[in-house]
């Protein structure tokens, strides 16, 4: 196979003009980008992403590209801002993200109307533009299309390049078949058919893959083989596979050694003093279950007065999607809950919860080195990388309290303390158990977690997809 092509909404590199008018590359820091940065070199890779900046648009228009320090040729899809907004905010993040994570308050939301139809047309148009850009790439590379922003790309690309090898990977969960019916029928049908344009559909866990298969079963014309995890539609066979994503350990451990992170680690150690450190590191995201995390901590403090004053809960929250009203409201609720707990339980010498709301990845890396207990309790989560980064970075044999609804639970569950994220009593009990775990047990589990994460590399995640794609039977 010749090279590889990755397509994602946000690319690993974006270009800006500096003061002297030169194009300067900015590296992105998302999980996918970091994971692939280590495995693309030597692969003749091309990466197609939406243009985010004027610099990206200039590159798309043919400006000379300075070295971005990223091992892939960048190509940008240029979309008018209004169209991008509808595609990205309205459809991808407010509709598909909500569907796949079961986020709606169904009695009241969603309310689909004429605006939904218009936004959907924009989503279709952006997906088509991606497919057209991909179709222009010469040779016969495998196409690796990423995530719920680009659900229709496999089908559109298939129409333009019938013989192409196409994989799509869902980083999110995938909604159950009844819940997916909340979407307008036309949209749901287009999504399923869009994805089924691929040869291989990848999911983080068997549960999400199965949810997709259950929905496909109800599609007219589709034949689903549950036992072999295949769907046949329009005479083509689509493999449905599980490729749990992983984190790039060497990169992460390198980052943990930088002077900046060392300095931050000393600062956090000072805040903690001789108290135990309960930590969460999350985007300020509806799925992350931050409020119930605080409620569980409160329930723990209430039931275990002996722990008051002896533990600090540090919540490092990075702002996310603040242009969406639901996220603004949720941020306020999270902060109010933390303040209430500090008011009710704190005293002059002790603040039960420290909340930091800012974008500061080095601070997160520093804190992950120091926790005694890491709380990762999303309501639903495709995988959750913090649950993997923590055990790699932690220096105290810290324990992991992990939601059973995070994809990561499939791998890490046997070494973590599993919780139902809706059950604050169970979560409170797990916090206590994690804090009071005997040292040999802590060590055994912490080692198991780190070993499991290390055994699953991004290279393996990518390689398995490429292997499956290479075995796809080609027409003719």
d(CA 420, CA 8) in angstroms, rounded, equals 32
Q: Does residue number 82 form part of the binding site for a second copy (CB under 8 A)?
A: no
Which residues within the stretch 144-163 sit at the binding site for a second copy (CB under 8 A)? none
d(CA 255, CA 84) in angstroms, rounded, equals 33
Which residues within the stretch 366-395 sit at the binding site for a second copy (CB under 8 A)? 379-380
Element (H, E) at 470: helix 458-470
Phi-psi region of 234 (alpha: psi -120 to 50; beta: other; left: phi over 0): left
Q: Does residue number 116 form part of the binding site for a second copy (CB under 8 A)?
A: yes
**8 A C-beta contact, residue 264 and residue 54:** no
Give the nearest distance from C-beta 450 to a second copy in angstroms: 27
Q: Does residue number 212 form part of the binding site for a second copy (CB under 8 A)?
A: no
Binder of a second copy out of 19, 185, 306, 439 (CB under 8 A): 185
179: which 2 tokens? 């819940």
Binder of a second copy out of 30, 110, 362, 410 (CB under 8 A): 110
Q: Does residue number 410 form part of the binding site for a second copy (CB under 8 A)?
A: no
d(CA 458, CA 40) in angstroms, rounded, equals 10
Give the nearest distance from C-beta 118 to a second copy in angstroms: 10
Query: Chain centroid to CA 67: how far?
Result: 27
Torsions phi, psi for 429 (to 5 deg): -60, -40
The 316-335 contact track toward a second copy, x by CB under 8 A, reads ----------x---x--x--
Strand 4-7 to strand 45-50: parallel, antiparallel, or no bridges (unpaired)? parallel
Give the nearest distance from C-beta 430 to a second copy in angstroms: 13
244: which 2 tokens? 């749990």
- Tell me which stretch binds a second copy (CB under 8 A): 5-13, 53-61, 108-116, 445-453: 108-116
Give the nearest distance from C-beta 105 to a second copy in angstroms: 3
Binder of a second copy out of 26, 89, 207, 232 (CB under 8 A): 207
Cα→Cα distances 258→247, 366, 376, Å:
19, 10, 26
Torsions phi, psi for 194 (to 5 deg): -60, -50
**8 A C-beta contact, residue 8 and residue 47:** yes
Q: Does residue number 105 form part of the binding site for a second copy (CB under 8 A)?
A: yes
**8 A C-beta contact, residue 447 and residue 394:** no
The 412-441 contact track toward a second copy, x by CB under 8 A, reads --------x-xxxxx---------------
Q: Does residue number 226 form part of the binding site for a second copy (CB under 8 A)?
A: yes
Binder of a second copy out of 165, 292, 397, 432 (CB under 8 A): 292
Q: Does residue number 182 form part of the binding site for a second copy (CB under 8 A)?
A: yes
Residues in the chain: 476
Closest CA to 194 of 232, 235, 150: 150
Q: Does residue number 336 form part of the binding site for a second copy (CB under 8 A)?
A: no
Q: Does residue number 242 form part of the binding site for a second copy (CB under 8 A)?
A: no
d(CA 25, CA 66) in angstroms, rounded, equals 7
**Closer to a second copy at the Cβ: 207 or 304?**
207
Binder of a second copy out of 82, 113, 348, 349 (CB under 8 A): 113
Q: Does residue number 291 form part of the binding site for a second copy (CB under 8 A)?
A: yes
**Closer to a second copy at the Cβ: 363 or 426?**
426
3-state secondary structure of 418: strand
**Closer to a second copy at the Cβ: 184 or 346?**
184
Q: Is the dihedral of CA 297, 302, 303, 306 positive or negative?
A: positive
Closest CA to 193 of 152, 237, 144, 145: 152
**Closer to a second copy at the Cβ: 106 or 257?**
106
Which residues within the stretch 5-64 sit at the binding site for a second copy (CB under 8 A)? none
**Closer to a second copy at the Cβ: 11 or 173?**
173
Q: Is 82 exposed, middle or buried (0-12, 13-18, 19+ CB in 10 A)?
A: exposed
- Residues near a second copy, by CB under 8 A: 102-108, 110-114, 116-117, 173, 175-179, 181-185, 207, 210-211, 214, 226, 286, 291-292, 295, 299, 326, 330, 333, 379-380, 404-405, 420, 422-426
């Amino acid at each position: 196979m010749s090279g590889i092509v990755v397509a994602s909404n946000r690319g690993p590199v974006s270009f800006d003009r500096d003061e002297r008018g030169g194009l300067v590359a900015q590296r992105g820091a998302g999980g996918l980008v970091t994971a692939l940065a280590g495995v693309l070199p030597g692969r003749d890779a091309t990466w197609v992403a939406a243009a985010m900046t004027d610099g990206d648009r200039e590159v798309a228009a043919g400006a000379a590209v300075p070295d971005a320090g990223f091992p892939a040729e960048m190509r940008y899809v240029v979309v008018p801002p209004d169209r991008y907004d509808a595609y990205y905010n309205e459809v991808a993040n407010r509709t598909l993200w909500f569907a796949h994570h079961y986020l709606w308050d169904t009695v009241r939301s969603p309310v689909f109307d004429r605006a939904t139809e218009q936004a959907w047309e924009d989503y279709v148009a952006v997906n088509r533009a991606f497919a057209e850009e991909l179709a222009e790439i010469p040779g016969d590379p495998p196409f690796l299309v990423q995530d719920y922003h680009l659900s229709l790309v496999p089908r559109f690309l298939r129409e333009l390049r019938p013989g192409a090898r196409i994989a799509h990977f869902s980083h999110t969960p995938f909604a159950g078949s009844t819940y997916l019916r909340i979407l307008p029928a036309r949209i749901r049908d287009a999504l399923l058919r869009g994805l089924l344009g691929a040869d291989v559909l990848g999911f983080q866990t068997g549960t999400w893959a199965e949810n997709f298969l259950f929905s496909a079963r109800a599609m007219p014309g589709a034949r689903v083989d549950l036992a072999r995890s295949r769907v046949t539609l329009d005479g083509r066979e689509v493999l449905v596979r599980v490729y749990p994503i992983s984190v790039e350990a060497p990169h992460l451990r390198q980052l943990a050694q930088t002077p900046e992170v060392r300095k931050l680690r000393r600062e956090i150690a000072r805040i903690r003093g001789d108290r135990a450190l309960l930590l969460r590191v999350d985007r300020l995201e509806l799925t992350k279950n931050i409020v119930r995390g605080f409620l569980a901590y409160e329930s723990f403090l209430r039931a275990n007065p002996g722990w008051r004053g002896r533990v600090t809960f540090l919540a490092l929250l990075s702002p996310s999607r603040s242009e969406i009203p639901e996220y603004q409201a949720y941020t306020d609720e999270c902060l109010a809950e933390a303040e209430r707990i500090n008011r009710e339980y704190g005293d002059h010498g002790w603040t039960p919860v420290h909340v930091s709301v800012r974008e500061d990845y080095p601070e997160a890396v520093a804190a992950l080195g120091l926790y005694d207990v890491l709380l990762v309790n999303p309501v639903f989560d495709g995988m959750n990388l913090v649950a993997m980064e923590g055990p790699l970075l932690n220096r105290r044999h810290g324990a992991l309290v992990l939601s059973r609804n995070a994809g990561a639970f499939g791998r890490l569950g046997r070494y973590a303390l599993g919780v139902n994220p809706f059950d604050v009593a169970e979560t409170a009990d797990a916090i206590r158990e994690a804090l009071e775990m005997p040292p040999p047990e802590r060590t055994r589990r912490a080692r198991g977690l780190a070993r499991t994460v290390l055994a699953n590399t991004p290279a393996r995640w990518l390689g398995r997809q490429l292997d499956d794609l290479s075995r796809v039977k080609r027409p003719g």
